[in-house]
Structure 1
Amino acid sequence: MTRQPCDKLIALLRFDGSDRPRWYRDRQLQAYFTAAGYNLEEPEPTAVFLLQKLQSQPNHDDAQYWQRGLFCYLQETSWSVAMTLREKLGGMHQVSDCFQQACCLTNDPLKLLSKFKPGRGTRLSTYAYLRIYDGVYAALVGVRKSDWGLLKHSGLRSLSSALGNQGYTEDRVRQVCALVELWQELADQTTAPDQALLAQVAKTYRQCCPDLPAVTPSEVETLLRTAIAALRAYRQPQVVNPAEQRFWDTLEGGNTPWEATLKQEEQETLKRVFEMMKNAIAALDDTSRQVFCLYYCEQVSQQAIAQHLGFAKQYQVSRALERIRGHLVKALLAGLNQPTHPQRLKEATVAVNLWLKEGYKVLAGSCQRCDQVGMAEHCRYEGAS
């Protein structure tokens, strides 16, 4: 698995569908380093030198090569982190999941290594290992707390940046930030707000922000969820960042073997989870299946579901959804042969929430997805949004 020292600045991982990838050389990068006279036999000092050049001249014509060299240098470190975390997380995430998150961090070495001080005696690879480990763990476990927990503990500055990155106007950003700040002050728990709390936020908002457009309680919830979605996107960047597209395109035309294998493994993992969830949904009682389908497939609001199915109060729908998610979490753990102690429940909850928000929508469009889980008859709800 360990490559030769002379390869550490020019080698990338190649996957073959197993947990034992192989190295291959970036010939273009090797030719550049050789022509420029860099010492490939001593990767550590050369990598430090590349980092210093990148920090001092980030817009230099050769900066893309320096960045690629650092990316190659950190490949082995990223893989070590991925292997360690796969074991630590008890199989909840594949090695490719962890490695993909590591690549999110290492494709921007300036940001990842901004505080590295070579004079302190720490090796660059050791410093990077700790930074990559913390970043990947936070992305897969720590940062991905519950939606409302994330919103409760997010600062307004990061929220403003997250909304700006999503293209929202300055007025909309001000409005959402004001609502979030009020909700943070009024909410006692990191759980979804009930109707009373939403009404209180809307009332206080009208009093405190008369210059901003008024909102109803249901609009408050929509805007709070908008903030959550923006924070998720802000804290969990894609491996291929459009701003870094040129960097990835130069890695063998943007279609490297390991990148293609990562996508394949992701699809296989998603398919496996889908099968587990399909069976779990089929085991729900009729009312729970209707609630699930209307909320997740038809995107019907909880209030509308309560009216349609005859619930006395909206919070009963919220509790039903919570029970359904708990059922899916236990089904996922059973499918993975994992114990149901608190840590495993927490990790499985993260996986199920991700599936409900992303995977379920990706694998099936509109109500065709319901046909796949035997619920099509429950989706014919007139007026569904």
Structure 2
Amino acid sequence: MTRQRCDKLIALLQFDDSDRPRWSCDRQLQGYFTAAGYNLEEPDWTANLLLQQLQSQPNHPDADYWRRGLFCYLQETNWFVAIALREKVRGHQVTDCFQQACCLSNDPLRLLQGFDPQRGTRLSTYAYRRIYDQVYAALVGVRQSDWGLLRDTGRRRLSSALKNQGYSEDKIVHIQQLVHLWQELADQPTAPDQALLEQVVKIYHQCRPDLPCVTSREVGTLLRTAISALRAHGQPQVVNTAEERFWDILEGRENMPWEAILKQEEQETLKRVFEILKNAVETLDDASRQVFCLYYCEQLSQQQIAQDLGFEKQYKVSRALERIRSHLAKAVLAALDQPTHPQRLRELTLAINLWLNEGYQVLAAGCQRCSPVARA
């Protein structure tokens, strides 16, 4: 159920006796927007403008028109949410879900709190997730579980949540890596057991031997810290600035002599692994080598790579990177004379991805294509 681009700020869904809605134009609102000079041909840009005006001048005489325009703009989003939820919310019709969504979008200031157009996300996309979660919670009465929230979160959202809690950039990177490893290793969005935590610790130490040792218990604490930050980010609340930070404790701890010896051995192993990786990169075919260099050495996004190399779909870049990482993992296992059973291959593939993200300059130094980048 879509409408013309020029109608997205002035038309809304209406129901008759059936469940088949139809678009109805708000003529009064159309007259206001036309007289005020708003561009109805660019609804996304105009909706952002209306929200900014409403945020800065909520008591303006025209504020009611701005709210109505945003309400119309979100009608498609409300309908898509209602359709998506009809199979998950038992005992409720599509119209019930749609009506609940409209109640939320009737207060756009509250619904769209925290939206930042500078991040590149469309206003309707930002609203969809918030409307979906709140409608589901209202009709079912169950919030997304803590571990489900952590499983579904992305790096950008987690970074924003941790920044709001006062963490430094270095600490955010460390927490992101642990969360990413847990997301890749966890089969279900449930609290990790001891075996899974130890697996995360094992791979993390392989990737970052330069950091203080982290125990499985400390990893569990960090994952819960990330959950707390995400909850606070979704529902801002007063934060206790005197709360003890896990990484503050970790950084203040002195290494025992045996730990220093272990780190030295791990550093030597890591140097050897990078030499193996450099040789394995040289054996890639030209197309794979080009994707590798653009992604890890020149730090381009997958979307940029797809555009530069003329791929029709971005997923082709993602699949190419998966094949490359698998190739490199097998090369490392073969060079270290270790078996290539699936679980070990999966662990090493994750580790290699983190190694490359952290130390791509090391590989770039030996790459003719990327040597200018390395020297810069």
Q: Do they fold alike, i.e. is TM over 0.5?
A: no
TM-score by length of 2: 0.37
If you compute each CA radius of gyration, which structure gives the higher value, 1 or 2? 2
> If the length of structure 1 is used for normalisation, what is the TM-score?
0.36
